[in-house]
Amino acid sequence: MSYRELVTRPVLAWCAVTAAGRMPVAMAPLALVFLVRERPGGYSLGAALAAAYVIGEIVAAPVLGMRMNAERARPQLVTGLAVGAVGFAGLGLAPGAHPLVLAALAIVAGAGPAAVAGGLRALLTSMVPERAVTQAMSMETMLTFGVWAAAPALAAGLALGAAPAVPLLLMAVLMALSAAGMRLLPAGWAAGPPEEGVSARRALLRAWPVYVLGAAGLSLLALAELILPALLEQRGIAVGWAGVLLAGFSIGSAVGAFVYGLRGHWPGPLLVQSVVLVLAVTGGVALVALLPWTAAIGAVLVVAGLLQAPAALSRNLALRRLLPASALAAGYSVMYAAVGAGYAASGALAGGLLKVVAPSTAILWGVALTVLLTAVGALGERRLIRRTEESEESEVLQEADAPVVAERKVRR
Protein backbone atom coordinates (compact mmCIF):
# COMPACT_ATOMS: atom_id res chain seq x y z
CA MET A 1 0.00 0.00 0.00
CA SER A 2 1.48 3.38 -1.01
CA TYR A 3 0.71 6.82 0.43
CA ARG A 4 -0.74 7.90 -2.91
CA GLU A 5 -3.60 5.47 -2.43
CA LEU A 6 -4.56 7.35 0.74
CA VAL A 7 -5.13 10.56 -1.22
CA THR A 8 -8.91 10.29 -1.42
CA ARG A 9 -11.56 12.90 -0.76
CA PRO A 10 -12.68 11.41 2.60
CA VAL A 11 -9.11 11.12 3.89
CA LEU A 12 -8.24 14.67 2.76
CA ALA A 13 -11.38 15.93 4.50
CA TRP A 14 -10.30 14.05 7.62
CA CYS A 15 -6.87 15.75 7.43
CA ALA A 16 -8.45 19.22 7.20
CA VAL A 17 -10.83 18.59 10.11
CA THR A 18 -8.06 17.08 12.23
CA ALA A 19 -5.58 19.88 11.55
CA ALA A 20 -8.16 22.52 12.46
CA GLY A 21 -9.00 20.67 15.67
CA ARG A 22 -5.43 19.93 16.77
CA MET A 23 -3.85 23.31 16.10
CA PRO A 24 -5.64 24.88 19.12
CA VAL A 25 -4.52 21.96 21.31
CA ALA A 26 -0.91 22.47 20.26
CA MET A 27 -1.09 26.26 20.70
CA ALA A 28 -2.84 26.17 24.09
CA PRO A 29 0.03 25.98 26.65
CA LEU A 30 2.08 28.79 25.13
CA ALA A 31 -0.99 30.88 24.28
CA LEU A 32 -2.16 30.70 27.91
CA VAL A 33 1.22 31.91 29.14
CA PHE A 34 1.19 34.89 26.73
CA LEU A 35 -2.43 35.67 27.66
CA VAL A 36 -1.57 36.63 31.26
CA ARG A 37 2.19 37.27 31.23
CA GLU A 38 1.75 41.06 31.64
CA ARG A 39 -0.26 40.63 34.83
CA PRO A 40 1.52 40.54 38.23
CA GLY A 41 3.02 37.09 38.59
CA GLY A 42 1.98 36.49 34.99
CA TYR A 43 4.40 33.70 34.14
CA SER A 44 3.45 31.70 37.23
CA LEU A 45 -0.24 32.23 36.49
CA GLY A 46 0.30 31.21 32.85
CA ALA A 47 2.02 28.01 33.94
CA ALA A 48 -0.86 27.28 36.32
CA LEU A 49 -3.42 27.84 33.54
CA ALA A 50 -1.48 25.54 31.22
CA ALA A 51 -1.41 22.91 33.98
CA ALA A 52 -5.18 23.29 34.48
CA TYR A 53 -5.68 22.82 30.74
CA VAL A 54 -3.59 19.62 30.72
CA ILE A 55 -5.37 18.28 33.81
CA GLY A 56 -8.69 18.79 32.05
CA GLU A 57 -7.40 16.75 29.11
CA ILE A 58 -5.94 13.94 31.22
CA VAL A 59 -9.03 13.51 33.40
CA ALA A 60 -11.65 13.84 30.66
CA ALA A 61 -10.01 11.75 27.90
CA PRO A 62 -10.63 8.28 29.39
CA VAL A 63 -14.05 9.22 30.79
CA LEU A 64 -15.39 10.62 27.51
CA GLY A 65 -13.64 7.93 25.45
CA MET A 66 -15.42 5.19 27.43
CA ARG A 67 -18.79 6.82 26.72
CA MET A 68 -18.27 7.22 22.97
CA ASN A 69 -20.78 5.43 20.74
CA ALA A 70 -18.69 4.10 17.86
CA GLU A 71 -21.47 3.83 15.28
CA ARG A 72 -22.86 7.32 16.09
CA ALA A 73 -19.73 9.13 17.24
CA ARG A 74 -20.19 12.31 15.21
CA PRO A 75 -22.55 14.15 17.64
CA GLN A 76 -20.19 13.45 20.54
CA LEU A 77 -17.16 14.62 18.58
CA VAL A 78 -18.97 17.78 17.47
CA THR A 79 -20.08 18.49 21.03
CA GLY A 80 -16.54 18.06 22.37
CA LEU A 81 -15.09 20.42 19.79
CA ALA A 82 -17.86 22.96 20.41
CA VAL A 83 -17.21 22.90 24.18
CA GLY A 84 -13.51 23.44 23.52
CA ALA A 85 -14.31 26.38 21.24
CA VAL A 86 -16.48 27.95 23.96
CA GLY A 87 -13.70 27.54 26.53
CA PHE A 88 -11.08 29.17 24.28
CA ALA A 89 -13.48 31.96 23.31
CA GLY A 90 -14.18 32.68 26.99
CA LEU A 91 -10.44 32.93 27.69
CA GLY A 92 -9.90 35.23 24.71
CA LEU A 93 -12.82 37.51 25.52
CA ALA A 94 -12.11 37.83 29.26
CA PRO A 95 -8.31 37.86 29.69
CA GLY A 96 -8.61 40.09 32.77
CA ALA A 97 -10.98 37.78 34.65
CA HIS A 98 -10.20 36.34 38.08
CA PRO A 99 -7.56 33.58 37.94
CA LEU A 100 -10.06 31.00 39.18
CA VAL A 101 -12.41 31.88 36.32
CA LEU A 102 -9.57 31.58 33.82
CA ALA A 103 -8.55 28.24 35.33
CA ALA A 104 -12.12 26.95 35.04
CA LEU A 105 -12.29 28.03 31.39
CA ALA A 106 -8.90 26.37 30.74
CA ILE A 107 -10.18 23.12 32.23
CA VAL A 108 -13.30 23.31 30.04
CA ALA A 109 -11.20 24.02 26.95
CA GLY A 110 -9.00 21.01 27.69
CA ALA A 111 -11.71 18.59 28.80
CA GLY A 112 -14.29 19.18 26.04
CA PRO A 113 -12.31 17.85 23.05
CA ALA A 114 -10.13 15.45 25.09
CA ALA A 115 -11.59 12.32 23.45
CA VAL A 116 -11.71 13.79 19.94
CA ALA A 117 -8.19 12.66 19.02
CA GLY A 118 -9.01 9.04 19.85
CA GLY A 119 -12.34 9.17 18.02
CA LEU A 120 -10.80 10.69 14.90
CA ARG A 121 -8.03 8.06 14.87
CA ALA A 122 -10.60 5.26 15.09
CA LEU A 123 -12.57 6.97 12.32
CA LEU A 124 -9.48 7.22 10.09
CA THR A 125 -8.55 3.54 10.44
CA SER A 126 -12.12 2.59 9.56
CA MET A 127 -11.94 4.67 6.34
CA VAL A 128 -8.96 2.82 4.83
CA PRO A 129 -8.35 -0.86 3.99
CA GLU A 130 -6.83 -3.01 6.72
CA ARG A 131 -3.56 -3.25 4.80
CA ALA A 132 -3.27 0.56 4.83
CA VAL A 133 -3.67 1.11 8.59
CA THR A 134 0.06 1.55 9.20
CA GLN A 135 0.32 4.12 6.42
CA ALA A 136 -2.78 5.93 7.69
CA MET A 137 -1.38 6.15 11.22
CA SER A 138 1.96 7.30 9.85
CA MET A 139 0.19 10.02 7.89
CA GLU A 140 -1.64 11.08 11.06
CA THR A 141 1.67 11.28 12.93
CA MET A 142 3.22 13.41 10.20
CA LEU A 143 0.22 15.74 10.34
CA THR A 144 0.44 15.95 14.13
CA PHE A 145 4.15 16.78 14.19
CA GLY A 146 3.62 19.36 11.45
CA VAL A 147 0.93 21.03 13.54
CA TRP A 148 3.07 20.95 16.67
CA ALA A 149 6.01 22.43 14.77
CA ALA A 150 3.94 25.39 13.53
CA ALA A 151 1.84 26.02 16.66
CA PRO A 152 4.43 27.70 18.97
CA ALA A 153 5.51 30.17 16.30
CA LEU A 154 1.87 30.98 15.45
CA ALA A 155 0.90 31.47 19.11
CA ALA A 156 3.92 33.63 19.93
CA GLY A 157 3.72 35.65 16.71
CA LEU A 158 0.06 36.56 17.15
CA ALA A 159 0.40 37.29 20.87
CA LEU A 160 3.38 39.61 20.37
CA GLY A 161 2.44 41.05 16.99
CA ALA A 162 -1.29 41.60 17.53
CA ALA A 163 -2.65 41.09 21.05
CA PRO A 164 -2.35 38.40 23.76
CA ALA A 165 -6.00 37.40 23.31
CA VAL A 166 -5.79 36.93 19.53
CA PRO A 167 -4.31 33.39 19.63
CA LEU A 168 -7.14 32.23 21.93
CA LEU A 169 -9.80 33.70 19.65
CA LEU A 170 -8.18 32.09 16.61
CA MET A 171 -8.10 28.78 18.48
CA ALA A 172 -11.82 29.09 19.19
CA VAL A 173 -12.53 29.75 15.51
CA LEU A 174 -10.38 26.80 14.37
CA MET A 175 -12.07 24.42 16.79
CA ALA A 176 -15.51 25.62 15.67
CA LEU A 177 -14.51 25.08 12.03
CA SER A 178 -13.36 21.55 12.93
CA ALA A 179 -16.75 20.89 14.53
CA ALA A 180 -18.54 22.18 11.42
CA GLY A 181 -16.31 20.06 9.17
CA MET A 182 -17.31 16.86 10.95
CA ARG A 183 -20.34 16.67 8.63
CA LEU A 184 -17.89 15.82 5.81
CA LEU A 185 -16.84 12.64 7.63
CA PRO A 186 -18.70 9.38 8.29
CA ALA A 187 -21.09 9.32 11.23
CA GLY A 188 -19.01 6.65 12.96
CA TRP A 189 -17.37 3.31 12.46
CA ALA A 190 -18.32 -0.33 12.87
CA ALA A 191 -17.52 -1.23 16.45
CA GLY A 192 -17.92 -4.97 16.03
CA PRO A 193 -19.04 -7.27 18.83
CA PRO A 194 -17.38 -6.85 22.23
CA GLU A 195 -14.86 -9.48 23.29
CA GLU A 196 -16.74 -12.43 24.75
CA GLY A 197 -16.62 -12.50 28.52
CA VAL A 198 -14.59 -9.26 28.76
CA SER A 199 -16.12 -5.83 29.37
CA ALA A 200 -14.74 -2.76 27.61
CA ARG A 201 -13.51 -1.36 30.92
CA ARG A 202 -11.67 -4.57 31.75
CA ALA A 203 -10.14 -4.71 28.27
CA LEU A 204 -8.85 -1.16 28.68
CA LEU A 205 -7.39 -1.86 32.12
CA ARG A 206 -5.75 -5.03 30.85
CA ALA A 207 -3.79 -3.00 28.29
CA TRP A 208 -2.07 -0.86 30.95
CA PRO A 209 1.48 -1.88 29.87
CA VAL A 210 0.91 -0.31 26.45
CA TYR A 211 -0.03 2.97 28.10
CA VAL A 212 3.02 2.89 30.39
CA LEU A 213 5.37 2.33 27.47
CA GLY A 214 3.63 5.11 25.54
CA ALA A 215 4.06 7.46 28.50
CA ALA A 216 7.76 6.54 28.65
CA GLY A 217 8.20 7.62 25.04
CA LEU A 218 6.61 11.04 25.48
CA SER A 219 8.43 11.75 28.73
CA LEU A 220 11.54 12.07 26.57
CA LEU A 221 9.87 14.83 24.58
CA ALA A 222 9.23 16.73 27.81
CA LEU A 223 12.91 16.46 28.71
CA ALA A 224 13.96 17.76 25.30
CA GLU A 225 11.51 20.68 25.28
CA LEU A 226 11.58 21.87 28.87
CA ILE A 227 15.24 21.51 29.85
CA LEU A 228 16.92 22.34 26.54
CA PRO A 229 16.98 26.16 27.07
CA ALA A 230 18.58 25.76 30.50
CA LEU A 231 21.04 23.22 29.10
CA LEU A 232 22.09 25.62 26.34
CA GLU A 233 22.75 28.32 28.93
CA GLN A 234 24.85 25.85 30.90
CA ARG A 235 26.89 25.14 27.76
CA GLY A 236 27.30 28.85 26.98
CA ILE A 237 25.16 28.56 23.83
CA ALA A 238 22.59 31.23 22.88
CA VAL A 239 19.13 30.25 24.13
CA GLY A 240 17.67 31.27 20.77
CA TRP A 241 19.03 28.03 19.34
CA ALA A 242 16.44 26.08 21.36
CA GLY A 243 13.66 26.76 18.84
CA VAL A 244 15.84 25.73 15.90
CA LEU A 245 16.99 22.53 17.61
CA LEU A 246 13.43 21.54 18.60
CA ALA A 247 12.24 22.24 15.06
CA GLY A 248 14.88 19.76 13.90
CA PHE A 249 13.46 17.22 16.32
CA SER A 250 9.93 17.77 14.94
CA ILE A 251 11.10 17.54 11.33
CA GLY A 252 12.98 14.36 12.14
CA SER A 253 9.83 12.91 13.71
CA ALA A 254 7.77 13.70 10.62
CA VAL A 255 10.37 12.01 8.41
CA GLY A 256 10.51 9.03 10.76
CA ALA A 257 6.74 8.61 10.58
CA PHE A 258 6.88 8.73 6.78
CA VAL A 259 9.64 6.11 6.59
CA TYR A 260 7.86 3.81 9.06
CA GLY A 261 4.73 3.92 6.93
CA LEU A 262 6.57 3.01 3.71
CA ARG A 263 6.41 -0.62 4.81
CA GLY A 264 3.30 -2.30 6.13
CA HIS A 265 5.33 -4.50 8.48
CA TRP A 266 8.76 -4.14 10.06
CA PRO A 267 10.88 -7.01 11.41
CA GLY A 268 10.16 -8.16 14.94
CA PRO A 269 7.11 -7.99 17.21
CA LEU A 270 5.66 -4.58 17.98
CA LEU A 271 6.80 -4.84 21.60
CA VAL A 272 10.42 -5.38 20.55
CA GLN A 273 10.20 -2.52 18.07
CA SER A 274 8.85 -0.20 20.76
CA VAL A 275 11.46 -1.08 23.38
CA VAL A 276 14.38 -0.79 20.95
CA LEU A 277 13.14 2.54 19.58
CA VAL A 278 12.38 4.09 22.98
CA LEU A 279 15.76 3.02 24.37
CA ALA A 280 17.47 4.42 21.28
CA VAL A 281 15.71 7.77 21.74
CA THR A 282 16.65 7.60 25.44
CA GLY A 283 20.30 7.19 24.47
CA GLY A 284 20.01 10.19 22.15
CA VAL A 285 18.55 12.39 24.90
CA ALA A 286 21.33 11.26 27.24
CA LEU A 287 23.88 12.30 24.62
CA VAL A 288 22.23 15.74 24.43
CA ALA A 289 23.01 16.13 28.14
CA LEU A 290 26.67 15.25 27.58
CA LEU A 291 27.64 16.84 24.26
CA PRO A 292 29.04 20.41 24.37
CA TRP A 293 28.62 21.43 20.72
CA THR A 294 25.51 22.96 19.16
CA ALA A 295 25.86 21.06 15.89
CA ALA A 296 26.26 17.74 17.71
CA ILE A 297 23.20 18.40 19.89
CA GLY A 298 21.19 19.30 16.78
CA ALA A 299 22.27 16.15 14.93
CA VAL A 300 21.39 13.94 17.90
CA LEU A 301 17.96 15.57 18.26
CA VAL A 302 17.20 15.00 14.57
CA VAL A 303 18.10 11.31 14.90
CA ALA A 304 16.07 11.06 18.12
CA GLY A 305 13.11 12.57 16.29
CA LEU A 306 13.49 10.04 13.47
CA LEU A 307 13.07 7.25 16.03
CA GLN A 308 10.50 8.95 18.29
CA ALA A 309 7.65 8.85 15.78
CA PRO A 310 8.00 5.12 14.94
CA ALA A 311 8.09 4.39 18.68
CA ALA A 312 4.74 6.14 19.14
CA LEU A 313 3.30 4.49 16.04
CA SER A 314 4.25 1.01 17.22
CA ARG A 315 2.43 1.71 20.50
CA ASN A 316 -0.79 2.67 18.73
CA LEU A 317 -0.57 -0.38 16.46
CA ALA A 318 0.01 -2.62 19.50
CA LEU A 319 -3.03 -1.12 21.21
CA ARG A 320 -5.10 -1.75 18.10
CA ARG A 321 -4.12 -5.43 18.14
CA LEU A 322 -4.74 -5.94 21.85
CA LEU A 323 -8.14 -4.23 22.15
CA PRO A 324 -11.45 -5.33 20.62
CA ALA A 325 -12.81 -2.99 17.96
CA SER A 326 -15.58 -1.89 20.32
CA ALA A 327 -13.01 -0.41 22.74
CA LEU A 328 -10.56 1.16 20.28
CA ALA A 329 -11.69 4.79 20.54
CA ALA A 330 -11.66 4.56 24.33
CA GLY A 331 -8.23 2.93 24.19
CA TYR A 332 -6.81 5.71 22.04
CA SER A 333 -8.28 8.26 24.45
CA VAL A 334 -6.71 6.50 27.44
CA MET A 335 -3.39 6.46 25.57
CA TYR A 336 -3.79 10.20 24.97
CA ALA A 337 -4.27 10.72 28.70
CA ALA A 338 -1.37 8.40 29.58
CA VAL A 339 1.16 10.11 27.35
CA GLY A 340 -0.04 13.48 28.64
CA ALA A 341 0.51 12.25 32.19
CA GLY A 342 3.98 11.00 31.21
CA TYR A 343 4.82 14.40 29.76
CA ALA A 344 3.52 16.19 32.85
CA ALA A 345 5.33 13.85 35.27
CA SER A 346 8.62 14.22 33.44
CA GLY A 347 8.18 17.99 33.23
CA ALA A 348 7.41 18.22 36.96
CA LEU A 349 10.45 16.09 37.79
CA ALA A 350 12.65 18.22 35.56
CA GLY A 351 11.35 21.47 37.05
CA GLY A 352 12.00 20.24 40.57
CA LEU A 353 15.46 18.94 39.78
CA LEU A 354 16.54 22.16 38.05
CA LYS A 355 16.32 23.90 41.44
CA VAL A 356 18.97 21.64 42.96
CA VAL A 357 21.08 20.19 40.12
CA ALA A 358 22.55 21.25 36.79
CA PRO A 359 20.37 20.91 33.64
CA SER A 360 22.53 18.09 32.29
CA THR A 361 22.07 16.13 35.53
CA ALA A 362 18.31 16.77 35.45
CA ILE A 363 18.14 15.29 31.95
CA LEU A 364 20.02 12.18 33.08
CA TRP A 365 17.58 11.72 35.99
CA GLY A 366 14.72 12.01 33.52
CA VAL A 367 16.40 9.43 31.29
CA ALA A 368 16.56 7.07 34.29
CA LEU A 369 12.82 7.56 34.85
CA THR A 370 12.15 6.75 31.19
CA VAL A 371 14.23 3.56 31.38
CA LEU A 372 12.28 2.49 34.49
CA LEU A 373 8.90 3.12 32.80
CA THR A 374 10.09 1.26 29.70
CA ALA A 375 11.11 -1.78 31.76
CA VAL A 376 7.80 -1.85 33.65
CA GLY A 377 5.75 -1.46 30.47
CA ALA A 378 7.75 -4.06 28.52
CA LEU A 379 7.56 -6.71 31.25
CA GLY A 380 3.84 -6.11 31.75
CA GLU A 381 3.10 -6.28 28.02
CA ARG A 382 5.16 -9.45 27.64
CA ARG A 383 3.03 -11.13 30.31
CA LEU A 384 -0.15 -9.80 28.67
CA ILE A 385 0.87 -11.20 25.26
CA ARG A 386 1.72 -14.56 26.83
CA ARG A 387 -1.67 -14.76 28.55
CA THR A 388 -3.43 -13.84 25.31
CA GLU A 389 -1.57 -16.55 23.39
CA GLU A 390 -2.33 -19.15 26.08
CA SER A 391 -6.01 -18.19 26.02
CA GLU A 392 -6.13 -18.49 22.22
CA GLU A 393 -4.43 -21.90 22.35
CA SER A 394 -6.94 -23.07 24.96
CA GLU A 395 -9.85 -21.94 22.77
CA VAL A 396 -8.39 -23.78 19.77
CA LEU A 397 -8.00 -26.99 21.80
CA GLN A 398 -11.56 -26.70 23.10
CA GLU A 399 -12.88 -26.28 19.57
CA ALA A 400 -10.85 -29.28 18.40
CA ASP A 401 -12.11 -31.44 21.26
CA ALA A 402 -15.75 -30.42 20.86
CA PRO A 403 -16.63 -33.09 18.23
CA VAL A 404 -15.04 -35.83 20.37
CA VAL A 405 -16.96 -34.70 23.45
CA ALA A 406 -20.20 -34.60 21.48
CA GLU A 407 -19.61 -38.12 20.10
CA ARG A 408 -19.02 -39.46 23.63
CA LYS A 409 -22.26 -37.92 24.82
CA VAL A 410 -24.15 -39.57 21.91
CA ARG A 411 -22.64 -42.98 22.77
CA ARG A 412 -23.67 -42.62 26.37
Residues 37-79: pLDDT tens digits?
888 878 778 878 888 898 899 899 888 888 888 888 899 999 9
Residue type at position 74: R
Contact 37, 43 (CB under 8 A): yes
The domain spans of the chain are: 1-189, 198-412
Mean pLDDT of 279-283: 88
Residue 158 parent element (H or E): helix 133-161
pLDDT score, position 12: 94
Give burial (CB, 10 Å; 0-12/13-18/19+) of 94. middle
Helix runs in 37-115, H state only: 42-66, 74-93, 99-111
Q: Outline where DSSP puts E strands in 137-238.
A: none
In the CATH scheme, what architecture does the domain 198-412 have?
Up-down Bundle (1.20)
d(CA 7, CA 246): 29
Give the residue, 389 or 168, on which the prediction is more confident.
Answer: 168
Residues 82-135: pLDDT tens digits? 999 999 999 999 999 999 999 999 999 999 999 999 899 989 988 888 888 888
d(CA 229, CA 350): 12
Give the residue, 272 or 41, on which the prediction is more confident.
Answer: 272
Q: 390 pLDDT exceeds 80?
A: no
**One fold for 1-189 and 198-412:** yes
Residues 293-340: pLDDT tens digits? 888 888 988 888 888 888 888 888 888 888 877 778 888 888 888 888
Of 154-158, 355-359, 360-364, 381-385, the range with the highest mean pLDDT is: 154-158
d(CA 247, CA 146): 10
As a residue count, the chain comes to: 412
Categorize the per-residue pLDDT at 257 as very low, low, confident or very high, splitting at 50, 70 and 90: confident
Q: 407 pLDDT exceeds 90?
A: no
Mean pLDDT of 247-266: 82
Residues 5-29: pLDDT tens digits? 788 899 999 999 999 999 999 888 8
Residues 142-200: pLDDT tens digits? 898 888 878 888 888 899 889 999 999 999 999 999 999 999 999 888 766 555 555 67
d(CA 42, CA 8): 46
Contact 172, 92 (CB under 8 A): yes
Residues 208-254: pLDDT tens digits? 888 888 888 777 777 777 777 777 888 888 777 777 787 788 888 88
* b/e map 105-134, b = 16+ CB within 10 Å: bbbbbbbbbbbbbbbbbbbbbbbbeeebbb
Task: Kindly report the CATH number that applies to the domain delimited by 1-189.
Answer: 1.20.1250.20
* b/e map 305-334, b = 16+ CB within 10 Å: bbbbbbbbbbbbbbbbebbbbbbbbbbbbb
Give burial (CB, 10 Å; 0-12/13-18/19+) of 199. exposed
Mean pLDDT of 253-271: 82
Mean pLDDT, the chain, whole residue set: 83
Helix runs in 241-358, H state only: 241-262, 270-290, 294-322, 328-353
d(CA 397, CA 310): 37
pLDDT score, position 405: 47
